[in-house]
């Protein structure tokens, strides 16, 4: 066991941070830390909200497992710092992270690649009013979804069913971000697919179907109750599952994802058309999280998944760095 862990050197599990998703990140990081230590890996918690990033190199860390969620952590900021420090890290690189955290930019890439994404309108703080909100509702139709353009864990996400709800939903989303995405509502099955690997080596794990109370897969139903049902096997026809997995792989490759990425989709009830919603390049690793659930369905334990991701930690530019000197 110790011999397996020794090949990784000293490992930092980046967790916590200062985004609105800090609480979830601490839960993810604690799980990853236990898993790595159970395999004899010299893993240590590291909270960038409490310590400077250059402590990582000063203290001799060789790799980082990124269990941060939201901004910074998933948006390329932490990835850029690790590139400068020359410390390999799990997951997507700087450019992919900065694109994938932005739901509107992600959709632009997918649509440019001919991949299906719901119609949407991006609002910027200070550039909208009540008339604009009504116009968006008219353009996309009701109901529609309002969400912060960056971030995750379903924070600030509202399903708007009437015009009276538009303004409060937009203001709630603006509380968390400078941009707000208004998105066409797709009535149907909510599913997610974990993609592992990079480039031509990306493979999709089993599809997970999500059945949330009243169809509301919000922050509370994601992490803090047991009423949400996750179906894996998902119970969908084999041909539909295969199409979803293929679409998830194409979505991951289009963004240049590395290591892993969890793709969220909706299947329109009437037409059975799949629609790409968003991608998470640093998926949750809590007891309720979908990434370890998908891995288990594929025969990979939580611990196996963590070690696999750590083994594939790398840099955008793996060239040797100059010797680091403390300030």
Q: What is the pLDDT of residue 201?
A: 96
Mark whether 225 is an active-site residue. Answer: no
Q: Which one from 19, 98, 153, 252 is the annotated catalytic residue?
A: 153
Q: What is the pLDDT of residue 223?
A: 46
Q: What is the pLDDT of residue 227?
A: 75
The closest of 119, 10, 118, 112 to 59, measured between CA atoms, is: 10
Q: What is the pLDDT of residue 221?
A: 47
CATH number of the structural domain 120-184? 3.30.1490.20
3-state secondary structure of 298: coil
pLDDT tens digits, one per residue of 265-299:
999 999 999 999 999 999 999 988 999 999 999 99
Q: Which one from 259, 278, 289, 303 is the annotated catalytic residue?
A: 278
Mark whether 25 is an active-site residue. Answer: no
Contacts of 247 (CB under 8 A, 6+ apart): 115, 116, 263, 265, 274, 276
274 contacts 247 by C-beta, under 8 angstroms: yes
Half-sphere exposure of 263 (CA within 13 A, CB side): 36
Q: What is the pLDDT of residue 327?
A: 53
In 256-289, alpha helices (H): none
Q: What is the pLDDT of residue 305?
A: 98
Where are the strands (E) in 173-320, listed by range?
A: 179-184, 188-196, 203-204, 208-211, 229-231, 260-268, 274-280
pLDDT tens digits, one per residue of 66-82:
999 988 899 999 999 99
Beta bridge partners of 160: 144
Mark whether 264 is an active-site residue. Answer: yes
Q: What is the pLDDT of residue 287?
A: 86
Q: What is the pLDDT of residue 319?
A: 72
Domain 99-116+186-310 annotated CATH 3.30.470.20: yes
Q: What is the pLDDT of residue 324?
A: 56
Under-50 pLDDT residues of the chain: 217-219, 221-224
Q: Which one from 16, 17, 19, 21 is the annotated catalytic residue?
A: 21
Q: Which one from 152, 262, 289, 302 is the annotated catalytic residue?
A: 262
Mark whether 89 is an active-site residue. Answer: no
Q: What is the pLDDT of residue 81?
A: 97
**Domain pair 99-116+186-310 / 120-184, same fold:** no
CATH number of the structural domain 2-90? 3.40.50.20
Domain coordinates in residue numbering, the chain? 2-90, 99-116+186-310, 120-184
Q: What is the pLDDT of residue 129?
A: 84
The closest of 75, 85, 94 to 177, measured between CA atoms, is: 75
Contacts of 279 (CB under 8 A, 6+ apart): 100, 106, 251, 252, 255, 257, 261, 262, 263, 264
Mark whether 261 is an active-site residue. Answer: no
């Amino acid at each position: 066991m110790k011999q397996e862990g020794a090949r990784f050197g000293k490992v930092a599990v980046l967790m916590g941070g200062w985004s609105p998703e800090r609480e979830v990140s601490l839960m993810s990081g604690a799980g990853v830390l236990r898993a790595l230590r159970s395999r004899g890996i010299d893993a240590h918690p590291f909270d960038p909200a409490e310590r400077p990033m250059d402590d990582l190199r000063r203290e001799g860390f060789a790799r980082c497992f990124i269990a941060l969620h939201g901004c910074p952590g998933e948006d390329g900021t932490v990835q850029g710092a690790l590139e400068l420090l020359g410390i390999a890290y799990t997951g997507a690189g700087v450019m992919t992270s900065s694109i994938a955290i932005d739901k509107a930019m992600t959709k632009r890439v997918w649509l440019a690649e001919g991949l299906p994404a719901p119609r949407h309108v991006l609002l910027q703080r200070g550039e909208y009013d009540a008339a604009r909100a009504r116009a968006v509702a008219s353009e996309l139709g009701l109901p529609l979804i309002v969400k912060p353009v960056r971030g995750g864990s379903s924070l600030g996400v509202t399903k708007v069913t009437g015009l009276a709800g538009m303004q409060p939903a937009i203001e709630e989303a603006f509380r968390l971000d400078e941009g707000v995405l208004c998105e066409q509502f797709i009535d149907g099955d909510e599913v997610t697919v974990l993609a592992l690997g990079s480039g031509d080596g990306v493979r999709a794990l089993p599809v997970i179907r999500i059945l949330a109370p009243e169809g509301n897969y919000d922050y509370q139903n994601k992490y803090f109750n047991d009423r949400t049902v996750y179906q894996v096997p998902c119970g969908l026809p084999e041909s539909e599952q295969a199409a979803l997995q293929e679409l998830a792989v194409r979505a991951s490759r289009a963004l240049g994802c590395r290591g892993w990425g969890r793709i969220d989709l909706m299947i329109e009830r009437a037409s059975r058309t799949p629609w790409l919603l968003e991608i998470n390049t640093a998926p949750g690793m809590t007891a309720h999280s979908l990434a370890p659930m998908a891995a288990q369905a594929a025969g990979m334990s939580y611990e196996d998944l963590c070690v696999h991701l750590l083994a594939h930690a790398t840099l955008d530019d793996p060239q040797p760095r100059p010797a680091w000197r403390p300030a």
